[in-house]
A and B are shown apart, each in its own frame.
Chain A
Amino acid sequence: MPALNQNAEFLMNPVGARNVERGPIAPRLGTLRGPTIGLLANTKKNADILLKTVGEILIREHGVVVVISRRKVSSSPAAPDAMLDELAESCAAVINAYGDCGSCASWCIFDGVTLEKRGVPTATVNSDAFVVLGQHEAIALGLPGLPIVTVPHPMGDVPAEEVRKRAEAMIAQVLRVLTTEAEVLESEYTDRFIDESDKFTRSEMVCQL
């Protein structure tokens, strides 16, 4: 690295060098008829109800034969290796829910990226208030095209019946991100939420510099 006194012309940048590598998402499934689908819950309130409902709908209406449910001990940090190993080995795809706060969205994205990098197509769920953060993190982790399924925010204070309705409403997104060709999804999701961040950000909660 050149000595600093040879570059005395400009102020120095306090920002840390960021990851600029961009990897591909996992290949998607041709069909949901037959394969085993994993449901990864992160303990956030109502995540279990959301995933259970999604699993039931996938079995009842879309030909999925078996779902495997696993639950992290807590929403933060990452899912343990053994749990991800098991999901990667026994499931053709995983639905990973959900991020509805800063730390849980972060680790939810982290788990989704880990599974995708292992070749497991994943539907990673964030509430719409946190999806911009989620996409920034997917970029930081080298998977800018990670498909992120959204549910309305907040999720923690709604009754079970409303959660089940939101699960039904989310099914189309789940089907799409698990069965659409990877390249198509990547172009669809890369920068999608960042470019539309105004739509997902309540302006009255952000004060401009």
Chain B
Amino acid sequence: MTSAAAAQGERFLALPASLDFEEANEALYQLGVTDGLPVIPPTPDRVARMLEGIRRDSAQSLGTMGPAYGQATIEKIAVNAVMAGCRPEYLSVLVAAVEAMVEYEFNLYGINATTHPVTPMLVVNGPAAERLRINSGYNCMGQGWRANATIGRAIRLILVNIAGGTPGKGDRATHGTPAKFSFCLAENELASPWQPLHVRRGFAPDVSTVTVHASEAPHEINNHTSEDGAGILRTFAHAVSTVGHNNSYLGRGEVAICIGPEHAETIARDGLGIADIQEHLFAHAGNRRSELLAIGRDNFDAMAPFEASEADPFVGLVEKAEDYLLFVAGGVGKHSMAMPSFGLSRSVTKPIGID
């Protein structure tokens, strides 16, 4: 089989399963199917073991993924999961994440091909987080936990291999972002004073879900000094108010904030809930029209409505307060993280099958 046949998505590669680790990795790297790091060679035996992690027909396709519109079969997801180093029990998270990403409103076609430095951020809720040991505490966006690292990595390999997001070809990211290697964490539901994200989205607390958000790399929000929630919220609004990201450019989309447990406690101590935080951000995060005009931005008719009759109206970042996607995660410390988005995308939450 030629590399052209491999590129059309045939079931097997023309590479013997008996190749040693180094030989297999060199060949896979040259085919352009890795993320640049060594991968676990996807032998049929390993893929078969991976498929034992889920009770689904391996030939079933969850849909096509752009820009190449490759078929996302369970088996193809499993092959990429093997390469990423996933355990079989992680497969159900990947399947749910793919089900979320193929929803039209997520706009995977745009996200995978765009010049913007975007990657799907996966936020896991419910019992699966503990069962799979998906980190939601210290360093939950960093290294060190197998589930976070390999689930996020498998998502990237799926976007390259199934969807055709090869850098410089189907993926035209100007710079990309380190978050494209892997970006998966769980909500720290135990450390949150509020309802978890999936419950706010209509799922029962004991249902596990994955939410995908078309995310920029996270940006720190430092507030070591405020004694009240108002100070924290002011810092949140300030941190995301720039003319330089896609939400500002487009005047729409969602902005995610991962609220550190200490910030959450300070905010909740003042009796403020998720809706209060969203309302505050909706009212205070954004820019004056004059600031936008100063950089030549005049696509106001495409943006969310604002008070155009004012002398220098305030132009927000999103269409409605609920477009601030909030959840709690992290360890001890007075930090939160802001994730503006691609903009022309809606986050999607899907249940994780219990198989």
Contact = CB atoms under 8 A, between A and B. Distances in A.
Contacts of A10: 12-17, 44
A16 B44 contact: no
B164 A12 contact: no
B103 to A, nearest CB: 12
Given A11-B17, A15-B33, A16-B68, A136 B107 contact: no
Interface in A129-155: 130, 132-133, 136-137, 140-141
A134 to B, nearest CB: 10
Main secondary structure of the interface of A (DSSP, over half): loop
A203 to B, nearest CB: 11
B213 interface: no
A139 to B, nearest CB: 9
A25 to B, nearest CB: 18
Given A16-B162, A74-B250, A106 B113 contact: yes
Nearest to B172: A102
A84 B107 CA distance: 19
A16 B17 contact: no
Interface in B66-125: 66-73, 75-76, 79-80, 82-83, 104, 107, 109-111, 113-116
A76 B344 contact: yes
Contact of A12 (B13, B157, B296): B13
Contact of A13 (B9, B24, B168, B172): B9
A104 B47 CA distance: 36
Q: Which of A9, A12, A102, A107 has the most CB of B within 10 A?
A: A12
Interface residues of A, number: 43
B43 interface: yes
A20 interface: yes
Chain A CB count within 10 A is highest, among B51, B68, B162, for B68
A125 B69 CA distance: 21
A136 B109 CA distance: 13
Interface of B: 6-17, 19, 24, 28-30, 32-33, 41-45, 47-48, 51, 58-59, 64-73, 75-76, 79-80, 82-83, 104, 107, 109-111, 113-116, 157, 161-164, 168-173, 250, 252, 296, 299, 302, 342, 344
Interface of A: 1, 3-5, 7-20, 43, 45, 73-77, 101-107, 110, 130, 132-133, 136-137, 140-141, 205-206, 209
Given A10-B12, A16-B71, A133-B113, 20 more contacts: A1-B58, A8-B43, A11-B24, A12-B44, A15-B76, A16-B164, A17-B9, A17-B76, A18-B7, A18-B164, A45-B299, A74-B344, A75-B344, A77-B109, A101-B114, A101-B115, A102-B114, A107-B109, A133-B169, A209-B29
